[in-house]
Amino acid sequence: MVFIAMMLIQARSLQAQKTSETRVWSADNGDGTYKNPILWGDWPDPDIIRVGDDFYMVSTSMHYVPGCPIITSKDLVNWQMAGYAVDHYREDPRYNLKGGEMYLRGSWAATIRHHNGLFYVGFCTPNWGKEKGHFSMCTAKDIKGPWKRTIFPEYLYDPGLFFDDNGKVYVAHGQGKLYVTELASDALSVIGKPRLIWDKSIAVPKGSTAPKGGYGMEGSHVYKVNGYYYITCPAGGTQGWQMCLRSKSIYGPYESKVICQDESSYPGNGLHQGGMVQLKDGSWWFMIMQDRGPIGRVPNLVPVVWKDGWPMLGKDGNSKGVTRYPKPITRKHAAISLPATSDEFSSPKLGLQWQWNHNPDNSKWSLSANKGYLRLHSSFAKDLVWTRNTLTQRVQGPSSEAVVELSLSGLKDGDVAGFGIFQSPYAYIALKQSGRERMLIMVNNGQVIDSVSHFTTPKIWIKAQATDQQFMARFAYSTDGTHFKWMGTPLHMGLGYAWTANRFALFNFNTKKGNIGGYADFNWFHFTGANPSIKAR
């Protein structure tokens, strides 16, 4: 009987995965071509490398844990999660939501390289006011870990790690003013002073919708090709473009050129910031992001053509993106693959698609207490912003929908357990326990918008839908898992915590300080993907 039960669980998990994969945005057209974006979700500040036949891309994740997500591909079009470079943040109790919060801080603009058998992931952690930011370098023999993190006292903003062919190691960094700093040969400490290599403003290119004026650069990544050092940098922010610096010396002097300027695929928002990689056949490709509002900053794959010694992006090096284009690598019988979304919570470990809001309290969640369920125990929090064990994954575009099944028998006085979409503002449907009374509530922008008293069913199904059309989200519930009823008002998704996109969020918190809270059991999370029926109202 145990064997049969396990087979049923595995079959259910595989079916859910297949269902979600058929509905999640796929860049692979199945005919030898691909379309952009490569991933229609929040994978900001991409950097990319090739190791043998495998490609690896790292992305910014700020305060979410684990941090520095890394995905892998065989063809630059189909991707799967590989792991994370940071398991949690130890340097400040505010990452545990104690004594404050660390929204936006954590991992920014990561750089990834592979050298002498080791993977390196470096990132900066900014702070504001009187607090000083810092720089971290993570190393591992296997991309899946374990990773060792070294925190530098120096602050190297938007780093680009580079191993030179003469044994020297450098990081290009800075915002506005760009610097190069030499590291030790193991890349785990600074041995040189920052040397200024660029402090000029970049004028707005002709045709850009960005406000006129001068712009600095950031997001540096370094390459060496045919004796030249190339540093690629974005300028102009959301409405920006991609620059490239070139010099025969790592310390300059550098000349500059616009290598990509295009906002046609999402008017007003230019392709900017990312990294490039060379394939075995000698061709070069650039993974470059584009802001798409509260849905996220999405990666686009663009071919590179070398012209007069410059890496120009686009077909024939026209400095434009591509909407549909032949795949860089066509493999026989290669299956379309996507980063995971749906989860039956039947494995002993959480799927790699999940990240916690700040460091989790590992004593307050379990996948084994009720096998086949994610159990979230509650702790005191005045609202969702201060709920430590909020489990999240990306909302995706152009539209997406997710449903959870939630068992309520473990709730105690003061518990608020539910499912919604998190950013600032946020919205959700939840069950609120007050004594022996249970109420269904819909919260939008911190306010209870709708409620149902005397809610007595032992379980509930909650649905959240999101679309990039006016960036609207709405919410529904069901008491039988089939018939859903819309509740409350639509959420106008925003970016109050700037640059982190909206996320699906599972949670359970307790509003009464000193209470011993209960638990909520989530049976599954089903991502039902791009849904043409989702419309703003």
Q: Are 402 and 518 contained in the same domain?
A: yes
Using a pLDDT cut of 70, give the percent of the chain over it.
94
What token pair was written down for 343?
A: 């989860």
CATH no. for residue 406? 2.60.120.200
Is position 466 within any domain?
A: yes
Residue in 227, 223, 246 with CA at minimum distance from that of residue 310: 246
Q: Of 274, 309, 326, which residue constitutes the final position of a domain?
A: 326
User: How high is the pLDDT of residue 530?
Assistant: 56
Yes or no: say if 181 and 196 are a contact pair by the CB < 8 Å rule. Answer: no
Which amino acid does the sequence have at 371? Answer: K
- pLDDT tens, position by position, 205-262: 988 889 998 999 999 999 999 999 999 999 999 999 999 999 999 999 999 999 999 9
User: How high is the pLDDT of residue 534?
Assistant: 47
- The predicted model gives 13-27 an average pLDDT of 58
Q: Is the pLDDT of residue 435 over 50?
A: yes
Using a pLDDT cut of 90, give the percent of the chain over it.
89
Could you give the CA distance from residue 136 to residue 159 in angstroms, rounded to a whole number?
Answer: 10
Is position 450 within any domain?
A: yes
Could you give the CA distance from residue 429 to residue 69 in angstroms, rounded to a whole number?
Answer: 28
DSSP class of residue 315? G
- The predicted model gives 459-488 an average pLDDT of 96
Show Cβ contacts of residue 385 under 8 Å, excluding neighbours closer than 6 positions: 101, 424, 426
Q: Is the pLDDT of residue 12 over 90?
A: no
Q: Of 286, 311, 326, which residue constitutes the final position of a domain?
A: 326
Q: Which of 218, 263, 343, 468 is catalytic?
A: 218
User: How high is the pLDDT of residue 68?
Assistant: 98
Q: Are 80 and 195 contained in the same domain?
A: yes
Q: Are 413 and 280 contained in the same domain?
A: no
What is the arrangement of strands in the sheet containing 503-510, beginning at the earlier edge strand?
64-65, 355-357, 391-394, 503-510, 415-422, 427-434, 437-444, 447-452
- pLDDT tens, position by position, 376-392: 999 999 999 999 999 99
Is position 62 within any domain?
A: yes
Is position 350 within any domain?
A: no
Q: Are 312 and 382 contained in the same domain?
A: no
Q: Of 276, 309, 326, which residue constitutes the final position of a domain?
A: 326
Sign of CA dihedral 26, 467, 109, 36: positive
Confidence band of 11 (pLDDT split at 50, 70, 90)? very low
Confidence band of 531 (pLDDT split at 50, 70, 90)? low
Q: For residue 520, give its domain range.
A: 355-527
164 catalytic per annotation: no
User: How high is the pLDDT of residue 514?
Assistant: 86
Q: Are 385 and 284 contained in the same domain?
A: no
Backbone angles phi, psi at 317, to 5 degrees: 70, 35
The Cβ-side half-sphere exposure at 496, using a 13 Å CA radius, reads 10
Element (H, E) at 464: strand 459-467
- pLDDT tens, position by position, 152-184: 999 999 999 999 999 999 999 999 999 999 999
- pLDDT tens, position by position, 342-358: 999 999 999 999 999 99
Residue in 215, 205, 300 with CA at minimum distance from that of residue 261: 205
Is position 348 within any domain?
A: no
Left if phi > 0, otherwise alpha if psi is -120 to 50, otherwise beta: which for 501?
Answer: beta
Confidence band of 263 (pLDDT split at 50, 70, 90)? very high
Q: Is the pLDDT of residue 331 over 90?
A: no
Task: Map residue 5 onto helix, strand or coil.
Answer: helix
Task: Map residue 203 onto helix, strand or coil.
Answer: strand
Q: Is the pLDDT of residue 10 over 80?
A: no
CATH no. for residue 112? 2.115.10.20
Q: Are 303 and 387 contained in the same domain?
A: no
User: How high is the pLDDT of residue 515?
Assistant: 86
Yes or no: say if 85 and 143 are a contact pair by the CB < 8 Å rule. Answer: no
Range scoring the smallest mean pLDDT among 119-133, 301-315, 405-419: 119-133
Q: Are 423 and 475 contained in the same domain?
A: yes
Q: Is the pLDDT of residue 316 over 80?
A: yes
Could you give the CA distance from residue 526 to residue 428 in angstroms, rounded to a whole number?
Answer: 16
Q: Is the pLDDT of residue 16 over 70?
A: no
More confident residue, 199 or 17: 199
Q: Is the pLDDT of residue 332 over 90?
A: no
Q: Are 379 and 477 contained in the same domain?
A: yes
Is position 370 within any domain?
A: yes
Q: Are 77 and 125 contained in the same domain?
A: yes
Confidence band of 17 (pLDDT split at 50, 70, 90)? very low
Could you give the CA distance from residue 424 to residue 408 in angstroms, rounded to a whole number?
Answer: 27
Q: Are 315 and 274 contained in the same domain?
A: yes
Q: Are 364 and 275 contained in the same domain?
A: no
Could you give the CA distance from residue 280 to residue 286 in angstroms, rounded to a whole number?
Answer: 15
Q: Are 51 and 149 contained in the same domain?
A: yes
Q: Which of 21, 28, 42, 45 is catalytic?
A: 45
Yes or no: say if 188 and 142 are a contact pair by the CB < 8 Å rule. Answer: no
User: How high is the pLDDT of residue 202?
Assistant: 92
More confident residue, 10 or 409: 409
Could you give the CA distance from residue 501 to residue 494 in angstroms, rounded to a whole number?
Answer: 8
What token pair was written down for 120?
A: 């390196």
Is position 150 within any domain?
A: yes
Could you give the CA distance from residue 145 to residue 169 in angstroms, rounded to a whole number?
Answer: 23
Yes or no: say if 5 and 514 are a contact pair by the CB < 8 Å rule. Answer: no
Yes or no: say if 373 and 407 are a contact pair by the CB < 8 Å rule. Answer: yes
262 catalytic per annotation: no
**Which residues lie across from 137 on neighbouring strands?**
122, 150
User: How high is the pLDDT of residue 335?
Assistant: 86
What token pair was written down for 471?
A: 């960036």
Is position 19 within any domain?
A: no
User: How high is the pLDDT of residue 333?
Assistant: 75
Residue in 370, 508, 497, 446 with CA at minimum distance from that of residue 106: 497
- Domain count within the chain: 2
User: How high is the pLDDT of residue 21?
Assistant: 47
